[in-house]
Amino acid sequence: MVEEAPVRADIGEQGELFPDSSLPDEFVGYRGPAACQIAGITYRQLDYWARTGLVAPTIRSAHGSGSQRLYSFKDILVLKVVKRLLDTGVSLQNIRVAVEHLRQRGVQDLAKITLFSDGTTVYECTSPEEVVDLLQGGQGVFGIAVSGAMREISGSIHEFPAERADGLEVNPTSDDELSRRRRARRTG
């Protein structure tokens, strides 16, 4: 069950996480094995979550033997959040409710969210004031800063092969010195 924390009058913003548009566009996706490595889950978990509709790929779903699912950046972010919630003991039933709530948000909106849970209920906080209000209840909670998960993913996602659903070639989003060296090392 996802509950929004009490809202105070002056809600602060955490700022834009990706102002330089370094996120892959909506046609760029990653196959299952890459999504697993990026999110830190097993292929078995990925397959089960896709078949049960917990986190289904939004770019391309599997359609028969040999077909490849294609997961978007947002899908991988949700996979990572689900993994963290499971690791902290939140039930799969409550995670399903939280995931449904996260699906309704855009990637930029997700960057402003911190999820807290007391082990049964998942709370969404979008400002420091909401976090303080939630913690004043005196119960033990743990938090997942979605923006932190986004930073982790965006830091490593470019190391994995990406595909475009429209068949066009994927352009690298950054061409800094480190990226050039990695490409040169891979191509020999």
The reply to whether the predicted model has a pTM over 0.85 is no
Model confidence band, residue 23 (pLDDT cutoffs 50, 70, 90): low
Kindly report, residue by residue over 167-178, the tens digit of the pLDDT: 777 765 555 666
DSSP structure class, residue 71: E
Pairwise pLDDT comparison (182 vs 7), residue with the higher score: 182
CA neighbours closer than 13 Å in the CB half-sphere of residue 174? 16
Q: What's the gap between Cα 174 and its chain centre? A: 20
Pairwise pLDDT comparison (164 vs 168), residue with the higher score: 164
Mean pLDDT for the stretch of residues 4-31? 53
Residue 84 corresponds to which amino acid?
Answer: R
Task: Please state, in angstroms and rounded to a whole number, the distance separating the CA atoms of residues 37 and 10.
Answer: 39
* Domains along the chain with CATH numbers: 2-6+24-111+149-187 (1.10.1660.10)
Predicted pLDDT of residue 71 = 94
Kindly report, residue by residue over 56-95, the tens digit of the pLDDT: 999 988 777 767 899 999 999 999 999 998 988 888 888 8
Contacts of 8 (CB under 8 A, 6+ apart): 127, 129, 130, 133
Secondary structure (3-state) at 75: helix
Model confidence band, residue 154 (pLDDT cutoffs 50, 70, 90): confident
Mean pLDDT for the stretch of residues 111-132? 81
The DSSP line for 93-131 is: HHHHHHHHHHHTS-HHHHTT-EEEESSS-EEEE-SHHHH
Contacts of 155 (CB under 8 A, 6+ apart): none
Predicted pLDDT of residue 9 = 35
